[in-house]
Amino acid sequence: GSALELSCEAEGRPPPLLSWFRDSELLREEPGASRLDLPLPRLAPGDAGTYVCVAENRHGTDNRSLQLHVA
């Protein structure tokens, strides 16, 4: 039941599209942002999984992932 907020930051020219995914499902995206937060207000076992932040612009794509376990 604890709260958690995941943050993703990226810079680029042009500014990137930032997106959060969980197990390949798009959760949130923001074009032209340098930061995108993903609030998880009440963690439950169903929130467990692989979370991926993707930054993309016309020059390429980069991503970071994390594995969240909820007990």
pLDDT for residue 12 is more than 90: yes
Residue 39 maps to which CATH number? 2.60.40.10
pLDDT for residue 49 is more than 90: yes
**Cβ burial 11-50 (10 Å sphere, 16+ → b, else e):** ebeeebbbbbbbeeeeebebeebeebebebeeeeeeeebe
Looking at the structure of the chain, the number of domains it has is 1
Question: Residue 41 is part of which domain span?
Answer: 4-68
For residue 47, the model assigns a pLDDT of 96
**Mean pLDDT of the 25-54 span:** 96
Q: Which residues pair with 6 in a beta bridge?
A: 38
Single pTM value for the model:
0.90
Angle at CA of residue 54, ends 42 and 52, nearest 5°: 40
